[in-house]
Chains A and B, each alone.
Chain A
């Protein structure tokens, strides 16, 4: 089937999409956007987090057909030609090791800070509970969130 949707602000089309295919597969394998990662394919790790109509979702659990006519934003679409401040905060805080979890976390943190510019610790933890990282031990990631929220002095 054919999928037309808006990805990172541009109209995109994918043809011959299998009905059971995930949005993640379409983004990575058909639209050349490998930012969102495929790690568990069962919603457990958050590496595939993208915005669908403004809400962060696991792209691995969205049937591609549901994205028809919808708006998708991936990690590639966050910065305005340059890295987004959340991305810069991850680099500055050393919150990236192998980097596999990073794109999903960046989208989740981007959403958190858009809704709650100065999140409390518990709010950060609740918002990121669906994003697993097997390298960093999370402390540097929390530091990056505080940094991006303008609270670097607290970390």
Chain B
């Protein structure tokens, strides 16, 4: 449906407290960060909110740093800075960020916007899932931190309350080898046909996974994680047994619940996920064997 132009306000808070107050007073106002999802909807007259709530000048929202021993990434940090500044601390997320859109899109798009849109194809979400990230939600009522795993509740739906804003994501500091891969028709400018993220944590001998574009929300592959935890040759860093790689790929594919759509069939998605998972674990394990534990 094409909607005509309408009365629309432009609200432009400069502090976080002010942004939360505006959000509470005016929950119908649509937050806008980088605008790369919101503006498409406005340009094509698919959406006519009574107001835009610009988060672009909120002090601190585009900062990152450490807090409580966690890496705290402000919701407004654009992908470009994640690629250039956080490849060491959040390697999986940085790899995913580099695949998003184009240079122009990465200069503007944010993780807060990716979470806000809650698309099953959001590329920032699988690496956040794999890393066990928390999402910090804030309102005038207070602050809560929720696992990213439960944040998306369906396609384009999330647990964000009408008076809440996404403040940040929090990532554990003990990054180990991480991988992200996505399947699409080009290297750039593609919505993933499917994607996969893996995080190995050699110190705690734990494993995280995230699958994108192959279920109503990004999902973990729990059984596949358990397999690697139990069977990776953690102690002697021996070569990866091929049957383990194969079994891992099968369990990742089984964890997805893909559909047929214009971008690919369910069967293709399952197959591709198995391939991506095998590739990811080979690369991550090779990095572990080469480099030892990264801090």
**A interface residues with partner B (beta carbon < 8 Å):** 1, 18-20, 22, 41-44, 46, 49, 55-58, 60-63, 65-66, 68, 108, 111, 126-127, 129-131
Bound CA span A55–B56, Å? 15
A30 to nearest B CB, angstroms? 15
The winner among A56, A58, A60, A131 for most chain B CB atoms within 10 A is A58
> Chain B 172-187 against A: per-residue CB contact (8 Å), 1 yes, 0 no?
0000000000000011
Contact B35 A62 (CB under 8 A): yes
Segment from B3-11, B116-124, B142-150, B246-254 that makes contact with A? B3-11
- Counting CB contacts under 8 A, is B107 at the interface? yes
- Judge if B227 is at the interface, Cβ distance under 8 Å: no
Closest to A62 in B: B35
* Residues of B contacting A44 in the complex (Cβ-Cβ under 8 angstroms): 189
Shortest beta-carbon distance from B17 to chain A in Å: 20
Residues of A within 8 A of B44 (CB): 41-42
- Whether a CB of chain A sits under 8 angstroms from the CB of B22 is no
Give the residues in chain A near B39, CB-CB below 8 Å: 22, 43, 60-63
- Extra 4 A-B pairs, beta carbons < 8 Å, given A41-B44, A43-B102: A43-B39, A44-B189, A61-B35, A61-B36
CB–CB A130/B102 < 8 A: yes
Knowing A42-B44, A129-B187, say if A65 contacts B54 (CB, 8 Å).
yes
- 0 or 1 for each of B101-128: is its CB under 8 Å from A? (1 = yes): 1111101100000000000000000000
Query: In the bound complex, how far is the Cα of B258 from the Cα of A134, in angstroms?
Result: 34
User: Is the Cβ of B104 less than 8 Å from the Cβ of A43?
Assistant: yes
Q: Does B101 lie within 8 Å of A130, measured CB to CB? A: yes
Known A63-B39, A68-B12, A126-B188; contact A20-B48, beta-carbon cutoff 8 A: yes
Interface string of B1-42 (1 = CB under 8 A from A): 000010011101000000000000000000010111011101
B104 and A49 form a contact (CB under 8 A): yes
Question: B275 at the A/B interface (Cβ < 8 Å)?
Answer: no
Q: Tell me if B204 is interfacial: C-beta within 8 Å of chain A.
A: no
Of the listed residues B32, B43, B80, the one surrounded by the most CB atoms of chain A closer than 10 A to its CB is B43
Residues of B within 8 A of A (CB): 5, 8-10, 12, 32, 34-36, 38-40, 42-44, 48, 51-52, 54, 56, 80, 101-105, 107-108, 186-189
Min CB–CB distance B96 → chain A (angstroms): 15
* Cβ contact of B101, chosen from A43, A49, A55, A131, cutoff 8 A: A43
A15 to chain B, nearest CB (A): 14
A111 to B39, CA, bound (A): 24
What would 29 A/B residue contacts be, using CB atoms closer than 8 Å?
A19-B9, A20-B5, A20-B8, A20-B42, A20-B48, A41-B44, A43-B105, A49-B104, A55-B80, A55-B107, A56-B103, A56-B107, A57-B107, A60-B43, A61-B36, A61-B40, A61-B108, A62-B35, A63-B42, A65-B12, A65-B52, A66-B54, A108-B103, A126-B187, A129-B102, A129-B186, A129-B187, A130-B189, A131-B102
The 5 closest A-B CB pairs, nearest first, are: A130-B102, A129-B188, A19-B8, A19-B10, A65-B10
Please name all residues of chain B whose beta carbon is closer than 8 Å to the beta carbon of A61 when the two chains form the complex.
Answer: 34-36, 39-40, 43, 105, 108
Tell me the complex Cα distance, A62–B39, Å.
7
Tell me, in angstroms, the Cα distance from A22 to B187 when the chains sit together. Answer: 27
Given contact pairs A42-B43, A43-B36, A43-B40, A18 touches B104 in the complex (Cβ within 8 A)? no
Q: Which residue of B lies closest to A67 (CB)?
A: B56
B102 — which chain A residues lie within 8 A by C-beta? 43, 46, 129-131
